Structure 1
Amino acid sequence: MTDPVMRLKDVTLSLDGNAGVVEILKGITLDVEAGETLGLTGASGSGKSSLLMVMGGLESATSGLISVLGQNLTPMGEDGLARFRRDNMGVVFQSFHLIPTMTALENVALPLELAGEADAFGRAALELEAVGLGARGDHYPSQMSGGEQQRVALARAVVGRPKILLADEPTGNLDAATGAMVMDLLFDLRDKYGATLILVTHAPELASRCDRVVQLRDGQVLSDTLAVAAQ
């Protein structure tokens, strides 16, 4: 049996708030297998987005072990975590997080440029083609619809051929039809590159497309269920 692509053991996250320390995650223990699509669900404030951020090293856990691709993320500093994400992960956010002063092509090419890739713009152009935006490469985010911006964000997330894709409510700012198209594209890109996908969603129809669904409540795992097709 192969080792999981991600392993969390007794992970906690506490943040200082106006009323004192707030416990966001409370002893999360979880394994994610290579190639799996895992849905993280739960009510607003349940900790699902915080858990995704901890998984991606975007938020430092207060305690516990986080191992990704055999690497312990816990002792890594910000620079080390940034390099690890650049080389191994793609992240898609609800609010796109495109750089407004860069064109679509420049946004997609940026991770490759930071990694020192010689053909960053060539690969970025191919990835924009793959999401149906080959003709929009010289357009800025402000000149694009929300759905187009999210497709650019998807292209940026996968251009480095990541082993792990993290998506935090990727359709939250989109209408139903555009959101469905973006989700189809996300799952297609996952299949294309064989990536492990971890998806935060409150939408039952999206959760039902995952191999496995972990439901959180009050910073703890309430349930961990295989999809019917995966059982």
Structure 2
Amino acid sequence: MTEAAGDPPVIELHRAELTLASRAGRVEILKGVDLAVARGQTVGIVGPSGSGKSSLLMLMGGLERATGGRVAALGQDLTRMDEDALARFRRDHMGVVFQSFHLIPTMTALENVATPLELAGHRDAFERAEEELAGVGLGKRIDHYPAQLSGGEQQRVALARAAAPRPQILLADEPTGNLDGATGDAIMELLFGLRDRHGSTLVMVTHAPELAARCDRVIRVADGLIEGESAGADATAPLAPGARAPEVAE
């Protein structure tokens, strides 16, 4: 369900800019972006490589700091927070899924999911982590290390880690980009299922047209600006309460 009329946006960018230094001089990555995302929406961000779409997502998560304008999430001005405050805000309110998984290689799947929960002070960290891993079909893989898992299984762990804190905002940067077609389709189903189960607002960067088409809104970025917007197809139906993905065979 999206926000009621008059409710403030969950994510809001006003004339947001990002300029980075390089050997050739300063490079304008984002050039004054205005965007508002309502509670419960799914938003796909598309555009050619180098257009600034991943940088836009990073601004929304406070992983890059805007060099101009304003970025707000859940009513909090991210541009005014220091790095510690941003880290706490992400920990408490956001889940982030990266294309390259970013799992800790010396930790099991269970530990990868539970550790952020422990750091946030959740006493049921391991129980919640096990539940989320079962929810993405890895109930029999909890004691495996990343090197013992396929790319698709590693992305499932990353999804479970992002969803375990039950975040209000879920950000995904090319979540199917490193996966083959069939595995990417399975991750796509899980991503939308997790969104529906936890009621998160979902914003993702993707090159996959079929993934973008399942979003409520599709934002096209080109040359550091929002070039246009269209409506995607209806989002996938929510998982039934307690529904779980199939287990991965041993």
Q: TM-score, normalised by structure 1?
A: 0.98
Computed over aligned residues only, the root mean square deviation of the Cα atoms, in angstroms, reads 0.9
One-letter identity of the residue aligned with 1:31? A
One-letter identity of the residue aligned with 1:164? I
Q: 2:232: which partner in 1?
A: 227
CA shift for structure 1 position 228: 5.3
Q: 1:214: which partner in 2?
A: 219
Q: 1:169: which partner in 2?
A: 174
CA distance in 1, matches of 2:151, 2:37: 31
CA distance in 2, matches of 1:86, 1:204: 30
1:13 to 14, 18, 23: 18
Q: 1:197: which partner in 2?
A: 202
Q: 1:58: which partner in 2?
A: 63
Gaps of 5+ in 1: none
CA distance in 2, matches of 1:207, 1:137: 31
Secondary structure in 1 aligned to 2:140?
A: helix
One-letter identity of the residue aligned with 1:23? E
CA shift for structure 1 position 224: 1.6
Q: 1:119: which partner in 2?
A: 124
Secondary structure in 1 aligned to 2:7?
A: coil
The reply to whether residue 182 of structure 1 matches residue 201 of structure 2 is no
CA shift for structure 1 position 119: 1.1
Q: Which runs of 4+ in 1 moved over 6 A?
A: none
Gaps of 5+ in 2: 1-5, 236-250
Q: 2:239: which partner in 1?
A: none
One-letter identity of the residue aligned with 1:189? L
Secondary structure in 2 aligned to 1:61?
A: coil
CA distance in 1, matches of 2:222, 2:185: 26
Deviations for 1:89-118, whole angstroms, at most 9, x for unmatched residues? 000000000000110000000111110111
Secondary structure in 2 aligned to 1:102?
A: coil
Deviations for 1:28-70, whole angstroms, at most 9, x for unmatched residues? 0000000000000000000000000010000001011111001
Q: 2:33: which partner in 1?
A: 28
One-letter identity of the residue aligned with 2:18? L
Deviations for 1:184-230, whole angstroms, at most 9, x for unmatched residues? 00000000011000010011111100000110000000002223559
CA distance in 1, matches of 2:141, 2:222: 41
CA distance in 2, matches of 1:127, 1:227: 28
The reply to whether residue 41 of structure 1 matches residue 30 of structure 2 is no
Q: 2:89: which partner in 1?
A: 84
Q: TM-score, normalised by structure 2?
A: 0.91
Q: What count of residue pairs does the alignment treat as equivalent?
A: 230
Alignment of 1:61-140 (within 5 A): 61-140=66-145
CA distance in 1, matches of 2:166, 2:205: 21
CA distance in 1, matches of 2:234, 2:191: 20
